[in-house]
Amino acid sequence: MAEVRGGLHYPRSIGEFQAWFRTDADCLDYLEWLRWPHGFECARCDGVGGWRTGDRRIMCAACGHRTSVTAGTIFDKTRTPLTVWFTACWSFATAKDGISALSLQRSLDIGSYQTAWAMLARFRSVLAHPGRKRLSGVVEVDETYIGGEEPGLAGGRAQGKKVLTGITDAWMGYHGLAGLGYAHRRRSQRAARARGEDPAALLPAVHRVASLAKRWLLSTHQGAVEPAHLQSYLDEFVFRFNRRRSGSRGMVFYRVLELAAGHEPVRYRNITAGNKPRKTSPVPPAGRGHPPSLDRVTAGRPWRAAYLPYSG
Ligand SMILES: [Zn+2]
């Protein structure tokens, strides 16, 4: 695709988003277009072209393999309606700082916190690019501790919960940098402090990024990130940081869905990494099961039929 354009390839506003994706079928068609912009391609035989079957599946014209638009993507076997997925993705992509699982659960009437958390975790899992380019030019590298503060413990820090995080594209300690073609210029913050200088001024960019990342984890996610999940949150942070000047949030929505449609399925056990997501605050009693579709049908202006008591 030569150029991705707002209003044509992705919605530019919430109004356009709502007009485009009124039903689960609209969302499925958009995913199909993202996945196979030039028409169906069979993952089994590489053949092109297929037939639609009655059950919203596609049958390969060459080998007869039956598949669906969502099979083999992060939406594989999902029981959450696509209108809910799309609305979640719109919130995830267009809110500058993202969205917490708790807000998502509440705003979309999702039955369990874990379901909402797993949806966001699946979006997060597609944001890291294994093939990304190495950093070039002057690269500031530092390490910092993330987490460790427990709400409710006055000024206390729970032992063993802090995670040492290296801020560079290919963290491996400082040894081995030369072998990668980098010249290592060591800057001692301790020495700067001894000279009475601001140690943060030695590496201004990396300090800014580290404090932004920590602030983001504390604000959007209320600091409730398990060490086992930290890397995926940092992937999300990096994705947002690199797009912080993007004029079009709709473009970010497009990008996340495009990655999601091209990403292999992500199983719950893989995203939890043995650590069940924990709630950050009490959740109001909610219904069970999966959220209802957000298919929009005309509601018949219910407010016209409602009794509105006069006040005063
Ligand atoms: Zn085939």
DSSP codes of every residue in 123-190? HHHTS--TTPPPP-SS----EEEE--B-TTSTT-B-TT--EEEE-STT-S-STTTGGGT-------HH
Banded pLDDT at 300 (limits 50, 70, 90): confident
Answer whether residue 4 shows pLDDT above 70: yes
| Ligand 1 centroid to residue 43 C-alpha, Å | 7
Distance 57 CA to ligand 1 centre (A): 13
Q: How far is the CA of 49 from the centre of ligand 1 (A)?
A: 9
Compute, in angstroms, the gap from residue 22 CA to the centroid of ligand 1. Answer: 32
The total of other beta-carbon atoms located within 10 Å of residue 193's CB is 12
Q: Which residues surround the ion ligand 1 when the cut-off is CB under 5 Å? A: 42, 44-45, 47, 60, 62-63, 65
Question: From the CB of residue 280, how many other CB atoms can be counted at a distance below 10 Å?
Answer: 16
On the question of pLDDT at 186 being above 80, the answer is: no
Q: What is the mean pLDDT of the chain?
A: 81
Pairing of strands 50-52, 58-60: antiparallel
* pLDDT at 21 > cutoff 90: yes
Tell me the per-residue pLDDT of 29-84, one tens digit each, with 9 for 90 and over. Answer: 999 999 998 899 999 999 999 999 988 899 999 999 999 999 999 999 999 999 99
pLDDT above 70: residue 137: yes
Distance (angstroms) between ligand 1 centre and the Cα of 4 equals 29
| Distance in angstroms (rounded) separating the CA atoms of residues 27 and 99 | 21
CA of 48 to the centre of ligand 1 (A): 8
pLDDT at 239: 87
| 177 contact partners, CB below 8 Å, separation of at least 6 | 184
% of residues, the chain, pLDDT over 70: 82
Separation CA 309–CA 312 (nearest Å): 10
Q: Is residue 211 predicted with pLDDT exceeding 70?
A: yes
The pLDDT assigned to 282 comes to 44
Give the model confidence (pLDDT) of 144-180 as tens digits.
777 765 444 343 333 445 566 666 744 455 667 777 7
Residue 285 has a pLDDT of: 42
Task: Find the mean pLDDT for residues 6-12.
Answer: 92
Give the per-residue pLDDT at 151: 43
pLDDT at 201: 78
Contacts (Cβ under 8 Å, ≥6 apart) of 156: 149, 150
- Per-residue pLDDT at 195: 87
**Could you tell me the distance, in angstroms and rounded to a whole number, from the CA of residue 51 to the centre of ligand 1?**
11
Give the integer Cα–Cα distance in Å for 63 and 57. Answer: 15
Distance 219 CA to ligand 1 centre (A): 48
Which pTM value belongs to this model? 0.79
Higher per-residue pLDDT: 64 or 183? 64
Provide the angle, in degrees to the nearest 10, between the axes of the packed helices 24-35 and 249-261.
70
Residue 279 binned pLDDT confidence (cut-offs 50, 70, 90): low
